[in-house]
Every structure is written in C-alpha cells, then in structure tokens.
Amino acid sequence: MSTRSARIRAELGHPVIDADAHINEFYPGFLDYIEKVGGGDFARRYREGFLQSGTGGGHRGGDFSGWVDQSWEERRRWRTRRPAWWGIPTRNLQDAGTALLPGLLYERMPELGWDYTIVYGGLGLFLPIELAEETRRITVRALNGLQADMYAEYADRICPVAAIPMYTPGEAIDELDHAVGQLGHKVVMIPSGVPRPIPGLHEKAPEAFPDAHWMDHYGVDSEHDYDPFWQRCVELGVAVTTHTGTLPTIPWSGRSISSYSYNHVGNHAMHQAHLAKSLVMGGVTRRFPDLHFALLEGGMGWGFQQFAEIISLWEKRRLAGLEATNPAHLDRRGYTQLVERYAGRWIEGRVAEFEKSLENFHTVSVPEEDLDEWAAMEIERAEDFVDRYVARLFFGCEADDRANALAFSPKLSPFQVRFNAIFGSDIGHFDVPDMREVLEEAYELREEELIDAEDFRDFVFANAVRLHGGMNPKFFEGTAVENEAAQVLAAT
C-alpha cells in the first residue's frame, strides 16, 4: 500500500536524503568484533559487563548510572540522573526490525519516501566518551568495523557512520585514519565534547569525576590543539558530524532523578550550542574554511538565536565596543555630582566614602593582552560572521520541529542569511512512532507555506549534498542519487 510519504516523494521532482537516521547495532555481531579487535580475554570481560549492564561500560564509564538498582533514598543522596528508558520501537514490529536490520531498511525506503540515508548507531553515541581508554579504543574500532561490513552491500542507498573518540588529537587521528582509510567509511561522528577532571578538585577528590567535570569542546580553552585533527578531516574529505546522547553519567542538561523527559528537553541543542560557539569563537572555522560541521538533532532554533546573539555581543565586547565601559573614561567628579544631586538623604555625609568606593569598583585592571576575547576569529566587520558561522555549520533538524522554518526566514536573521538546515528522520528512537509518517510530517512546513519549494528541496536534499559532497565530490558516486547530487555540486 502506498504511503503518503511515498506519494509526496513522487511529486517532489528531487530526491530525499535522510541525513540522520538511527539504528540499533546488531549486538551478537558487535560482540564478535569485540573479540576480533580486543582478543578473547577482553571479549570475555566485556561480554560479562555487557550482559550485566546492557552496555558493557559498567557504572561509571558507559550509559549506565546505577539508577535502576538504587533505592529512592540512594538516588536522592547521589542525585543520580534518570537515564533513557523505553527508547526504541517495540509495538510496531516492522519499525523495530527496520532500526536493526539494514536489509529491511533498504527494502522499506520507497515507502518511507527517501532515496538515501545516513545511519548513526546508538552505541556510537557513548562509546567515544567511555572513560576507560582500553575499552574505548577497542569498542570504537570494533563498532566501526561491524558497521562497515554489515552495510557494505547496501551502499547505494545506506551509509553507515564511524564513531571517532576525541580525548586527544592523536587518538582521534588514529581512529579517523582507520575508519576512513582502512574501513572505507565516508561519514564520521565525534562527540560534541569530552568530560575532563577539574585538576584542583581532582587532586583532592578524584572520585568526584565525572560528576564534577569541565567539558572540552575542542576550541576555546581546549586542553589540546585539535588543529591536526581538523586538517586530517580536510585531507580525507570528510565532514565533521557531531552527535551526543543523553548520558546519565555526565549530567549536562538537567539532573532530575525522576524524569528522563526533563533531562532530555533541550539536551541536544545545549550540546551543539556549546560546540558551535567553541569552534567559531576559538577560530576553528576561520582556520579551516573548507571544513564542514554538522550539528545533529539539536534543531535550528538554537543556531538561529546564537548567530544573532554572538554578533550582538561582538559589537559590544570587541575592542572598540569596550571603550563604552572602560573605567578610564569615567568622569568621577561628574558622576559624584550626579549622585549628590539625585541620591538625596542616601548620600548625606557619605560623599567621601562614595568617592573611595569608585576607586575599587571602577579600576579593575585588565592586562592589554587579555582584552580581546575575539582575536582568534579575526573579525573585521560584523558581516564576517556569515563566513565564520553560517557557511561552515549545518544544522540537523527533526521532522516535527516547526522551528526548522527559521533556517529559511532571511527577513528575521542578521544579514538576511539562510541557514544550512538538513533533514534527519531520527528513526529508531521513541521520537518516531511510525517511520512511514516522517517525510509527511516534514512536508507540513511546505503545506502551511512556512517554507517554499526551493527551501524544502534544500532541507531534505541539497544541503545534505553540500555538507558531504562539498568535502568529497565523489561522495555520492555509485549511489541512488548520484546524478542529482552532481547537479547540486555543479551549481554550488
């Protein structure tokens, strides 16, 4: 039976690319690859942990906080963040199987209404931020090997994603080279940040980590110089896509002990917002003008707001703007006279005390080298932010988010820009009760005239081509969208 999504696709006149589908890894195969990469002894230990916790990561390193086994008293005492639960399709058997089996996904794509899909695995969201290095290195490499092999025969329509850990640039480059150079992956995913101990606190109470931590987002104030990794991505022709789940051991967005839903609201947007401003304000997007970044599943609303805010803040906090608040410019005598005139009884007999307070309050010394917090961006005029921000960043959006229309609302944005919003179905998660209705839901923006036909084409097709094909012109060769993608790239 033809679905409405299929009928919409038939009338579009262009392909549909799902740039962010989710699949559940085939665990028996994953455990086999664990043994292949890590050896029998490690595989045995990991398998035991996997069967116990469902992740193999234990209480601290994986997506398992101990919440399930704790009493409410213990949860309150430790403020144990409630983890995700009942998060994948079950009642809809076809959808449950589609999220697991690439052959079934391939078979169903016509009824879902899309021509090509890029699939992100659930394990790939947290294995790269596993705290134990040995476990992290082995499991990530095993996962990437499994995905490359399991999806190879479906490459004309389905593209798996390699997970890349980012604790150090060296580790990241090692896994990048292995995934792309040896396994043949075309898409890579990094976590939006990695948790690191706070040194002073860690010296006194190492057990406080990871509950007490700071997040390294690879740009501003990063512990490492990640430029070699960004450069390697450019050399290999891969865009940097980023995704992070809602992990209970790292309480980024809310710390409710009773409601996963509370913890989930705003979670993805917050991750991506921190990463975006770190990359932009840290000068990464300036130093690597040919590198594309895709910030997935957070939507468009946060990016629209952040772009406007960062411009406004720059205007006021750049060197020229700081002159408005430079203490050296304060006419202290004139300021005191205003106070004497308008403060009335509150200043009687206290003028000298007030003048003394001005010396402390308005003479904060800032070394000249610390004044310019925007230096890494090398911004000369506000319009430069279009190149640093809009041209480099792509925003992953789900079908049910009406804020997607903001990407195509130039009258509302600074400099009348259009953002690079890309369609991601998020199938395989609780967000999608029926996979057949995803494209139908995305098309509602077009039906309600919030976006036009060109906007919708960019959203569900052309922007994804520019994201990946702009890094690697051969990305779509041999795929079901090869010819149409070539036309987009030729016109870009």
Q: pLDDT tens digits for 145-190? A: 999 999 999 999 999 999 999 999 999 999 999 999 999 999 999 9
- Give dist(CA 433, CA 441) in Å, integer: 12
Residues 177, 455: Cα–Cα separation, whole Å: 36
Per-residue confidence (pLDDT) for residue 250, from 0 to 100: 60
Average pLDDT (68-87) is 90
Q: What integer is the mean pLDDT of 124-143?
A: 94
Give percent of the chain above pLDDT 90: 81
pLDDT for 140 equals 98
pLDDT > 50? residue 480 = yes
Give the range among 15-29, 38-52, 215-229, 453-467 with minimum mean pLDDT: 38-52
Is the pLDDT assigned to residue 57 strictly greater than 70? no
Give residue 401's pLDDT band: very low, low, confident or very high (50, 70, 90): very high
Question: Is the domain defined by 4-315+382-491 classed in CATH 3.30.930.10?
Answer: no
pLDDT at 226 over 60: yes
Delimit the CATH 3.20.20.140 region(s) of the chain.
4-315+382-491
Res 371: pLDDT = 95
Q: Is the pLDDT of residue 109 over 90?
A: yes
Q: Write down the pLDDT at residue 62.
A: 36
Residue 295 has pLDDT above 50, yes or no: yes
Average pLDDT, the chain: 93
In the chain, the percentage of residues whose pLDDT exceeds 70 is: 94
Average pLDDT of the segment spanning 389-405: 97
pLDDT at 50 over 80: no
pTM of structure: 0.94
Average pLDDT in the 422-440 region? 96
Three-class secondary structure assignment of the chain: CCCHHHHHHHHHCCCCEEEEEEECCCHHHHHHHHHHHHCHHHHHHHHHHHHHHCCCCHHHHCCCCCHHHCCHHHHHHHCCCCCCCCCCCCCCHHHHHHCCCHHHHHHHHHHHCCCEEEEEECHHHCHHHCCCHHHHHHHHHHHHHHHHHHCHHHCCCEEEEEECCCCCHHHHHHHHHHHHHHCCCCEEEECCCEEECCHHHHHHCHHHCCCCCEEECCCCCCCCCCHHHHHHHHHHCCCEEECCCCCCCCCCCCCCCCCHHHHHCCHHHHHHHHHHHHHHHCCHHHHCCCCCEEECCCCCHHHHHHHHHHHHHHHHHCHHHHCCCCHHHCCHHHHHHHHHHHCHHHCCCCHHHHHHHHHHHCCCCCCHHHCCCCHHHCCCCCCHHHHHHHCCEEEEECCCCHHHHHHHCHHHCHHHCCCEEEECCCCCCCCCCCHHHHHHHHCHHHHCCCCCHHHHHHHHHHHHHHHHHCCCCCCCCCCCCHHHHHHHHHHC
